[in-house]
Structure 1
């Protein structure tokens, strides 16, 4: 069974895709450190940090129907290349603003909006292309391997980003821009011929197809909405600049360590799942993982020590990875290829809600109640969501394997 993992990397297509994803994710994670730290330096406001997340989320929400249609009708590789070029251009604006000392909160908000727009088109195309690159029986391992690529970048990106930031934000943003460009070059070697099987007109019914498919599949609806609400309430990572600076009293290097801690847990778990795929009780395992995510969030909120905070974030990242792999594999296996773009776009709204919108929610609650209460209440809310969803989606609870009833 474990011999299937090396076999994935013998395929040049998957190898190029995997490396390209590392470069892009590396760029984005370093960028997140720079934007978060600089915004808090400029404004000294937790609400401002939340608004950065909102600026990235709104384009994904508003463009949901359009980006799914585009991913189903046009070459997904070219979409990924173009959107990453757009992100490189956006980061170049921040390079210029810092080089000329004209950077401002409004400039960062505008760049966050541009990044959100580019990612709105990239996410569904990037997710929908993977099943076209590997055999279906290797998809679960491929999802885990791609997750490990992302988490490798999330570990190295923030940690190195915090160090590079000591050389100045201009250097950090220039490095991020270079990584986006490298990703574009690598993707250009991907051999991928996209064809549209059914050229359905862009009617409202067609555009809503992804949302309607998710609504009609209780297993997918339950899994993606569970992740959305759980991480929405437990989105403590948006407050990491404040925790690092005001509670743990560290500098950008401490922020980098905190940011890479969830990724370390996620990486270790993704490696384990790539070698030992889940074969039974996947529904119960998913709910247990989200519950652990809530407990880890509470522990993080109570901690005033860097090591304990990092441990809580490692646990948080590992439990979240289990949920991500189960959800992503279920969505890809049960969705016809001609609908994967629209379903992935709809799914990206759930993902975006649980990340960017979660950052906004955390910023608002921290401004109202304080950082520590906001984090703890979010963790308790995650545990409440687990209980409610187990009652609302018994089919998901009883789901035994990833492959059953697929297609």
Structure 2
């Protein structure tokens, strides 16, 4: 199969990326994947909350969903650099489809047979496939569009992910209130089947890099060592761990805040979950139109700070409308955080290490998120949900300050390394 031709450079950066048919296809794949994933998370989270009435067990959804990441992410980055990225994506989607089909079969046969451990197992498998496919999909985007349009392509990728994040919970909440759990989950299965058919048509250009067949352990050691010697990557990964441990777990508890603090049902909880996506979609759309970004780190840091402030205000909002607006503004910050997180990780690494660096990024996300979800759920159960969230968010803000002072994330523009600079 011949590599795709590079996207035309005429017109706006956004149009030049969208003119690439291969990018459009992988963009749709990402959109449907995130749509189904977010809908499934809402359906299963609402199920656990209604059945157990436990903040701790609600937090376990987040824990099990991210538990595979620390174990698989570094290896998945290695796989993305060494093996067929298209095949990795397809196998991951097959596993997702079969997992949803099994849970749906239990629901359809006898809903009473469905236990929380079934839910936790399904969520764990979903997290495992996401950890495996993320580095392959992100580096495949770079293969398709090239370095010159990477920020624009990743902004569009954030747009597609955000569209799924926005529409998935909203439609999931409506379906839960109208047709119940089984039919809602059946809709999730249909989306997975459509996405699987699209993945069979994916075309990803073969990388021209010469890959050395070094042992897996040494390969992982090289990537970790490189990150430790890069002040930019070190600061980015540190902030990534903080945000995923202390701030982003709040998203898992939005159903509980909606039900117990704001007094709304599944439909309005789904709309509340979509609010963040609305702001994130607007922010990502704006960034996709930018021509040249020099200070990637500033966008990343200020996006993080915006999420922190809006989250702290959200948990104490007494009104649904205000809570919705605060989450929407938080989404603007998340757009900057998400886009520049991936862009900095790949642009600050040499070409032959980008897959492994994306795996290392996923590892840091996976380390922080389960710990944060477990701790936040336990503290919320022992004390109050608002108190647990507020304490975590304030701690995240304080712990972020050293990275702003000691690393060049906000003080200097990003300098891209020459090829083959990996060292150990």
TM-score (norm 2): 0.90
Gap change, CA 1:74 and 1:405, over 3 Å in 2: closer
Name the CA distance, whole Å, in 2 between partners of 1:261 and 1:277.
Answer: 28
1:366 maps to 2:380: yes
Question: For residue 68 of structure 1, what is the aligned residue in structure 2?
Answer: 77
- Per mean C-alpha deviation after superposition, the further-off stretch among 379-388 and 5-14 is 379-388
- Per mean C-alpha deviation after superposition, the further-off stretch among 114-123 and 245-254 is 114-123
Gap change, CA 1:358 and 1:179, over 3 Å in 2: farther
Name the CA distance, whole Å, in 2 between partners of 1:261 and 1:332.
Answer: 29
Where do 5+ consecutive residues of structure 2 fail to align? 1-9, 419-424
> Could you tell me how far 1:354 is from its partner in structure 2?
4.7
Question: For residue 310 of structure 1, what is the aligned residue in structure 2?
Answer: 324
Gap change, CA 1:277 and 1:40, over 3 Å in 2: farther
Question: For residue 397 of structure 2, what is the aligned residue in structure 1?
Answer: 383
1:52 to 38, 58, 61: 61
> Could you tell me how far 1:280 is from its partner in structure 2?
4.2
TM-score (norm 1): 0.94
1:343 to 350, 353, 357: 357
Query: What is the Cα-based RMSD across aligned positions, in Å?
Result: 1.9
Describe how 1:174-323 pairs up with structure 2 within 5 A: 174-194=186-206, 197-234=210-247, 235-276=249-290, 279-323=293-337
Task: Give yes or no for contact 1:210–1:344 (8 Å, CA) kept in 2.
Answer: no
Question: For residue 184 of structure 2, what is the aligned residue in structure 1?
Answer: 172
Q: Secondary structure of the residue that 2:90 maps to in structure 1?
A: helix
Task: Give yes or no for contact 1:290–1:386 (8 Å, CA) kept in 2.
Answer: no
Question: For residue 38 of structure 1, what is the aligned residue in structure 2?
Answer: 47
> Could you tell me how far 1:226 is from its partner in structure 2?
0.8
> Could you tell me how far 1:313 is from its partner in structure 2?
0.9
Which portions of structure 1, spanning 4 or more consecutive aligned residues, are displaced by more than 6 angstroms? none
Task: Give yes or no for contact 2:42–2:270 (8 Å, CA) kept in 1.
Answer: yes
Describe how 1:100-179 pairs up with structure 2 within 5 A: 100-101=110-111, 102-166=113-177, 167-179=179-191
Task: Give yes or no for contact 1:296–1:315 (8 Å, CA) kept in 2.
Answer: yes
- Per mean C-alpha deviation after superposition, the further-off stretch among 258-267 and 203-212 is 203-212
Gap change, CA 1:320 and 1:406, over 3 Å in 2: farther
> Could you tell me how far 1:2 is from its partner in structure 2?
6.3
